[in-house]
Structure formats: C-alpha cells, structure tokens
Amino acid sequence: MSPDRVTPDTGGGDAKSVMNAAEIARTTTRMSHELLELAGGAEDLVILGILTRGVPLARRIAKAVGDAEGIVVPSGELDITMYRDDLRSQPLRPVGRTVLPGPINDKVVVLVDDVLFSGRTVQAALIALADLGRPAKILLVVLVDRGHRDMPIQAHIVGRHLPTARSESVRVAMAEMDGHDEVTIEPDEATL
C-alpha cells in the first residue's frame, strides 16, 4: 500500500531536453517581472507552489519578486492530493502538506506549477484554496504550458509554450530536489 513518491526520470535515453538551466533561470526572472507588472506591486502577494515541483519554482519567483521590490514576499506550499478528481482510480497517493505563510483572505494568491497540461491539477488547487480562505484574486503561473486542456483553464503567465503530443510526457527537474534544472520531453507517457 505504501505509495512511492514519484520521482521524474530525466535520464531516459529517448528524453529530449527542451530547456536547460540557464533558460529556466532566464524564464523565471521574466515571469517574475511579468507577475509584478500584472499584480501592480508585491504587497498583497502570497505565492503558493503546487506540490511537488511547483514548490521550488514558487520560492524562486517569490525571491525574485521580493528582491525587485525590496521586501520579503511570502511563499508557501499547496498539496492537492485529496482534491484530485482521479484519486479513486489511482493507486494510493501519499498525502503532502499544505504550508501557508499566513492567512490568504483578501490576498492575491499566485498559484505556481511546473507544467500545465489537462488543467485538472489547477482545478483541484482552486477547490483546495476555497477550503483555506477567500483570496481577493488568484493568478496562475506555470513554467511550461504543453497544451491538451480538458477544461477551460488558462495561465496568466507562461514560461514556455511547448507543443507536444498527448502521449508524450514533459518532465521538469528542479535543482532543489533533482540536483539540476532541466525540462525534457519523453516520447511515451510513463504511468504516473
């Protein structure tokens, strides 16, 4: 029963690298500036990374935004496991922890995830947020939008639009947990 935490395999022979560390760094910086512009400042921002690889990305963006404004921008972690609409049909998933830096009522919550695909994760995240408070506004920032949406969800800020086939899988490695930064495409979707 004990679920294994899924660790992306980025070393597969067929994997094709589409973003390297330098590109990811540049893109993250750009997204941070776009966010600042879109939000009209950093005062009310709470930046929440969706577990697992949205978390380091959110921290980086929070730091970049904070550095630019000379303040500390609060960041946190959002676990959406128990809100997933496919929970029942999958093997047991380990429950992660939601860590909020403070109340989110009347804040501008920025949801950060690594890859936007079907939109189901974001949908679950929106429901999860509703159980945590009532933000003034919710913004969505993703590093990669690979298309193939199952529902009407769009990100406010996208690092890279990546055309993919549905059967391919996009893996994001983050240095904080994977040792290096990279985005790869693999031809066959591994069973997740």
Smallest gap from Cβ 95 to other proteins, in A, equals: 4
CB of 1 to other proteins, least distance (A): 4
End-to-end CA distance of the chain: 16
Q: Does 179 bind other proteins (CB under 8 A)?
A: no
Burial class (CB in 10 A: 0-12, 13-18, 19+), 105: exposed
192 binds other proteins (CB under 8 A): no
Q: For the CB of residue 120, give the shortest distance to other proteins in the complex, in Å.
A: 14
Say if residues 139 and 107 touch (Cβ distance below 8 Å).
no
Helix (H) / strand (E) containing 134: none
**Residues 154 and 138 sit within 8 Å (Cβ to Cβ):** no
Q: Which is nearest to 20 in space by CA: 161, 176, 184? A: 184
- Shortest distance, CB of residue 51 to other proteins, whole angstroms? 11
Q: Give the nearer residue to other proteins in terms of CB position, either 131 or 151.
A: 131
- CB 152 → other proteins: shortest distance, Å? 21
Supply the minimum distance, in Å, between the C-beta of residue 119 and other proteins.
17
Residues forming a β-bridge with 144: 115, 160
Binding residues for other proteins restricted to 31-90, rule: CB under 8 A? 79, 81-83, 87-88, 90
Among 40, 70, 91, 163, binds other proteins (CB under 8 A): 91
At 76 the three-state DSSP class reads: strand
Residue 125 near other proteins by CB under 8 A = no
The residue among 71 and 177 lying less far from other proteins, judged by its C-beta, is 177
How many C-beta atoms lie closer than 10 Å to residue 141's C-beta? Answer: 26
The span of 52-60, 69-77, 130-138, 165-173 binding other proteins (CB under 8 A) equals: 130-138
Binding mask 94-123 for other proteins (x = CB under 8 A): xxxxx-------------------------
Strand intervals (E) in the chain:
16-19, 45-50, 75-78, 108-116, 137-145, 157-161, 169-173, 182-186
Rule CB under 8 A: which residues touch other proteins? 1-3, 79, 81-83, 87-88, 90-98, 127, 131-133
